[in-house]
Structure 1
């Protein structure tokens, strides 16, 4: 049995990590007006942030077409795969999972494909993908890998601190007056992924307090975290933040850069943690 893992570009996993684990990533697309770009292929993260700074409105993101997933499935069949497990961006936030499911029907006579809703975003999705890729590489069955994905989806926690309200203002989620007031007070909103949705998780008055809040979240689960990841949107203080977390987690901390799919809504300077909680 050769079980392969497929995900989408909202996972924000570093390219070298994806390659090392044999994970296939199907990209979403980003639209700036009439211009459309394939995430990470036609538009790098740095180019994305540069374009955002020049726009008064937010870009739009679009799920991959079913044909993109089907092409990936067929390439994996040609590469010797005997089963495919797809772990997708939360279905509450995107139609990506639907595309993966439609494509699975197109190849149903050739290979079994199971599609799992991560109920998560960015490196929350990424940590689930990595856990499943490791199990598949160790010879785990398709049922085992699917069960792990479902289990991890129910246990993965994601917290983030926004550095600016500019994107929320551009997206119409907060008014100009409220954004100006919050900026003047240096308020840093905290977000949490709950039930596949992004919810408000509080607010902190400064960047340093926001980082401390995230560290305290991790510290609260010390000894019960099996995987810890950090994600950031072009943050100069990410290395410092990782060092703040190390006393509370002895294992590897994977660091991923927030790309256009999540960055469109979160904004530059967003930093966060994702981890699996072991009962």
Structure 2
């Protein structure tokens, strides 16, 4: 009985990639004022960023209901297969809490494990894909738990923002609070590697912030792969070019940051994600 993997839409996994690995995605909700959308169902990343550019109101996000998780868990485990759910950082969203509430409601009906990735976007997605691949190889729930516990300690997520306004409004500013005094004159760089938002640096221009990301990556010994994550940014190729002297195209994966993280990262959010060597 292969382990079935469940995650939430903050993993930013393309539907076809999730389907190829049998990964079930429980979507979060995005709100623009009174208008509500289901992430990945009736709101694509490009449509989200277009709306954010056109509207004065900043978007908000809401975690899936416990009922949505319960339905996904029961579907995944309908044939008696074990289920492992891997969610975005519990410090940034109530999503993990909803999944845990659903697990309690299910009780002993399923062999079910709920894990906190302590990460977001490609950091979460890379963990989920690794878990799915291990499940396909016959890994047990305990094997997958051990894998995620290892990967989350090594997952690094750095983001360059054009503005802190979205983080400020969404209440996710965390350790980046000190940046607010100069919010209009800087390009903030944040570190979400521990599952919370902390200040990593400040740069005066977009170009310098991308160079900062490159330099931070290059401090690490050669990696097998690096993820470039972006919010439909027009200069994503510039960051790829910056890291290309060390990483070949086949080592670089490109992830589109969806509405869940984009709602807090803001327009033109850009980041690098990788897993430190073991």
Both proteins in one fold, TM over 0.5: yes
Q: Determine if contact 1:3/1:81 at 8 Å carries over to the other structure.
A: no
**Are residues 197 and 168 of structure 1, via their aligned partners in 2, closer, same or farther at CA, if it must alter by over 3 Å?**
closer
- Name the structure 1 match of 2:125: 126
Q: Which residue of 2 aligns with 1:44?
A: 44
Deviations 1:117-155 (A, max 9, x none): 111111111111111111111111110011111111111
Matched, 1:239 2:237: yes
SS in 1 for 2:192: strand
Segments of 5+ residues of structure 1 without an aligned counterpart are: none
Deviation per CA, 1:206-242, whole angstroms, max 9, x where unpaired?
222211111122211132x344211101112213322
The residue that corresponds to 2:25 in the other structure is 25
Q: Which runs of 4+ in 1 moved over 6 A?
A: 172-177
- Counterpart CA distance in 1 for 2:80 and 2:252 is 30
| TM-score w.r.t. length of structure 2 | 0.89
Q: Find out whether 1:96 has 2:89 as its counterpart.
A: no
Given that 1:127 and 1:274 are in contact with CA atoms closer than 8 Å, whether structure 2 keeps it comes out as no
Aligned to 1:107, the other structure's residue is in SS state helix
Q: Is the 8 A contact 1:57 1:170 kept in 2?
A: no
Task: State how far apart, in whole Å, the 2-side matches of 1:177 and 1:217 are.
Answer: 25
What is the SS of the residue equivalent to 1:106? Answer: helix
- 1:144/1:57 CA distance change after superposition, 3 Å: same
- Count of residue correspondences: 272
Gaps of 5+ in 2: none
Deviations 1:85-134 (A, max 9, x none): 11111111111111111212233333211111111111111111111111
Partner Cα distance (2:241, 2:193) in 1: 27
Report the Cα offset of residue 194 of structure 1. 4.1
Q: Does 1:206 align with 2:208?
A: no
- Give secondary structure in 1 for the equivalent of 2:91: coil
Distance change (3 Å), C-alpha of 1:177 and 1:148:
closer
- Is the partner of 2:272 in helix, strand or coil? strand
Match of 2:226 in 1: 228
Distance in 2 of aligned mates of 1:20 and 1:190: 34
C-alpha displacement at 1:36, in angstroms? 1.4
Residue 15 of structure 1: aligned partner: 15
Other-structure match for 1:84: 83
Displacement after TM superposition at 1:38 (Å): 0.7
Greater shift in the superposed pair: 48-57 or 37-46: 48-57
CA distance in 2 between partners of 1:81 and 1:159 (Å) = 39
CA displacement at 1:54 relative to structure 2: 3.3
The yes-or-no answer on 1:256 pairing with 2:255 is yes
Other structure's SS at 1:100 match? helix
Q: CA deviation at 1:263?
A: 0.8
Alignment partner of 1:154: what SS? helix
8 Å Cα contact 2:69/2:98 also seen in 1: yes
Please report the RMSD computed on the Cα atoms of aligned residues, expressed in angstroms: 2.3
Matches within 5 A, 1:43-192: 43-78=43-78, 80=79, 82-168=81-167, 178-180=182-184, 182=185, 187-192=186-191
TM-score normalised according to structure 1 size: 0.89
